[in-house]
Amino acid sequence: MTALNIIFIFVIVGTIILWKLDKIYIRLNFLNNKAEEEKIFDIEELLKELDQEITVAAQAFFAWKSIHNVASKDKSVEQALNKNALSWNICLHSLQSTFFIAIGRIFDVNPQSCSIHLLFRQCKNSIGKFSKYSLEQRRIDEAGGNKPDYLDSFIKEAYVPKQADFKKLKKNISKVQKTYEKNFRPVRHKVFAHNDSEYIKNPGELFAEATIDDAEEILNTLYKVERAIWNLYSNGKEMNFEYWNLKEEEYVLNDIEFLLNKLKI
């Protein structure tokens, strides 16, 4: 056998090995991707996590808004804040940063992120968790394994959702997602998450588009959607977007105005 023939055989064998390895790699990758797609997340845990994120964003935003409102209406408070301008600027910047980072996490489209989109995907993939049987079992578990007397009539009245119900509810998120991506995400990415050199001298160009009204609409929509899904999952109630309404006073720390008024003394 000549050297040329030996080289030719090695090339053929090597090609076959690499081809098979590639097929194996592709097959293994396919199985891994499939496993990731089928990964199940606990809906109750997702709801709790999103409720916490919405609470953090709402508290930061309304606290920031409250400080500005009180200072604008009371000159003595404004003067007191100006005496400690550095400290209060740090406080206000921290509240702004918390708000923008929190809503960024909620709207994150990364499949691995715990976002509002993951919640909808999980509801779609685990719609059986909203069945009467699943609701009944959760209520029995909550009662320590004993069936409560009210349960039969409760389950009889429970609403069982269809995929179309979640699609209809998600339209509300799609609307505010566009507002977030156009007016709020640039601030998050270029000011708080990164220090974009283009906007160092004039970050106001970005903030001008992120209005208070839009921020409140985003927070209110997120709250309504999360509460509607929670009420369905926990109580078997048909999802009613209009029933829920975020109340600003529930997210403003009661002692903020008291604290600001104390500054005047």
Low-confidence ranges of the chain (pLDDT < 70): 1-40, 193-205, 253-265
Residue type, 226: E
- pLDDT at 92 (0 to 100): 86
- pLDDT at 4 (0 to 100): 42
Summarised one tens digit per residue, pLDDT across range 209-219 is 889 999 999 99
User: What is the C-alpha to C-alpha distance for residues 52 and 100, in angstroms, rounded to an integer?
Assistant: 15
User: Is the Cα dihedral 195, 200, 206, 207 positive or negative?
Assistant: positive
- pLDDT at 46 (0 to 100): 95
Summarised one tens digit per residue, pLDDT across range 36-57 is 454 668 999 999 999 999 999 9
- pLDDT at 165 (0 to 100): 97
Domain ranges of the chain: 1-39, 41-262
Note if the pTM is more than 0.75. yes
The answer to whether 222 and 238 have CB atoms below 8 angstroms apart is: no
Collect all residues with Cβ–Cβ distance below 8 Å to 242 and sequence separation of at least 6: 224
User: What is the C-alpha to C-alpha distance for residues 123 and 128, in angstroms, rounded to an integer?
Assistant: 9
User: What is the C-alpha to C-alpha distance for residues 73 and 59, in angstroms, rounded to an integer?
Assistant: 21
Reference 231, options 240, 222, 218; nearest CA is: 240
- pLDDT at 188 (0 to 100): 87
The answer to whether 253 and 59 have CB atoms below 8 angstroms apart is: yes
- pLDDT at 10 (0 to 100): 43
236: exposed, middle or buried (Cβ count in 10 Å: 0-12, 13-18, 19+): buried
